[in-house]
Amino acid sequence: MSDRLSQLIQAVEEADSSKLLLEAVQNLADARLEGAIPILIEALSYNNPGAAVAAVDGLIALGDPSVPALLELLDMHNYTARSWALRALSGIGDPRGLVTLIGVATADFAMSVRRAAVKGLGMMKWHWFPDELREIAQEEALEALLFVAQQDEEWVVRYASVVGLQSLAITVANTHPEWRVQIEAQFEQMTSNDQNLAVRARVWLAQQKIKEKLNSAVVDTVIDEKKSPLTPDDWQDILNKLYEIKRQERLDNIGEGDPRRFQKLAITMGQPNN
């Protein structure tokens, strides 16, 4: 552990007021040192919202190295810490959080947490996915975002779903134009039926952004500044979780997807994503 990291951690541990704690966590987050991740995770459990926000920002800035610890925190019973961890996970957009975000977006009782999860689905790093797994994952994300857009009682969550659907529509415009059409149909319905003016205005903006992107003569290409750090085991775990979602849908007769498509894909998942 470097002297600088030790000093920053010591400042957090010795802070004896809310103000000093906030400043110490902010300084630790701003340092962007991977060794700070455990303390930033711990700060999510403090009874200090300002420090938690600073910790979330720091974990997002550190990115993918933060994900394993955040996923572990989501399994704990401290709801406040879980909600902050979900916000950090959403901001990172790591594929390992996909299934968690889908579940939280459609079922969590806290409006702010659902909103964060929906935003996370809109920020997912789809270009990291192996091609065939990407299709399955995007289909599940689409179903979750459409469900939220249609069913969520809170306008801020529906608003966030519009942002996520806009991003997804642009992402799949060439690979799955039928999904883009489905998203555009949902937007048309929302412009007529959603009772909140802000949501309708955001739908209108999304429609314009999608149209501008599709009419642009410039073809966007993803410039990945960093290759995916996920291992074949990580991808297999994501696949298994998606399989379980689809299997449960079939048991409940609420989905048309066939989980047998996962079986064939599983055979090819032993190779890392190139």
Q: What gap in Å lies between CA 81 and CA 7, rounded to an integer?
A: 25
Average pLDDT of 133-161?
A: 95
Q: Is there a contact between 269 and 240 (Cβ–Cβ < 8 Å)?
A: no
Neighbours of 2 (CB within 10 A): 10
Q: What gap in Å lies between CA 94 and CA 73, rounded to an integer?
A: 16
In the block, tokens 């994501």 appear at 238
Neighbours of 241 (CB within 10 A): 16
Residue 244 host element (H or E)? helix 232-252
Q: How far is CA 91 from CA 62, 128, 186, 222, 231, in A?
A: 11, 16, 25, 18, 21
Neighbours of 207 (CB within 10 A): 18
Q: What gap in Å lies between CA 15 and CA 23, rounded to an integer?
A: 9
Residue 165 host element (H or E)? helix 155-171
Predicted confidence (pLDDT) at residue 256 exceeds the cutoff of 50: no
Q: What is the pLDDT of residues 50-80, one digit of tens each?
A: 999 999 999 999 999 999 999 888 876 777 8
Mention every residue, 6+ apart, whose C-beta is less than 8 A from residue 9: 28, 36, 39
Q: Is there a contact between 81 and 44 (Cβ–Cβ < 8 Å)?
A: yes
Q: What pLDDT score does 224 carry? A: 54
Q: For residue 202, give the amino acid letter.
A: R
Residue 222 falls in which region: left (phi positive, over 0), alpha (psi -120 to 50) or beta: beta
Q: What is the pLDDT of residues 198-246, one digit of tens each?
A: 999 999 999 999 999 888 755 454 555 578 889 999 999 999 999 888 7
Helix, strand, or coil (residue 220): coil
Tell whether pTM > 0.85. Answer: no
Q: What is the pLDDT of residues 10-50, one digit of tens each?
A: 999 999 999 999 999 999 999 999 999 999 999 999 989 99
Helix, strand, or coil (residue 210): helix
- Range scoring the smallest mean pLDDT among 96-100, 105-109, 267-271: 267-271
CATH of region 1-92: 1.25.10
- Using a pLDDT cut of 70, give the percent of the chain over it: 87
- Range scoring the smallest mean pLDDT among 136-145, 150-159, 183-192, 236-245: 236-245
Residues of the chain with CATH 1.25.10: 1-92
Q: What pLDDT score does 79 carry? A: 78
Q: Is there a contact between 117 and 70 (Cβ–Cβ < 8 Å)?
A: no
Q: What pLDDT score does 273 carry? A: 47
- Whole-number mean pLDDT of the chain? 87
CA dihedral 221, 223, 228, 229 (to 10 degrees): -170
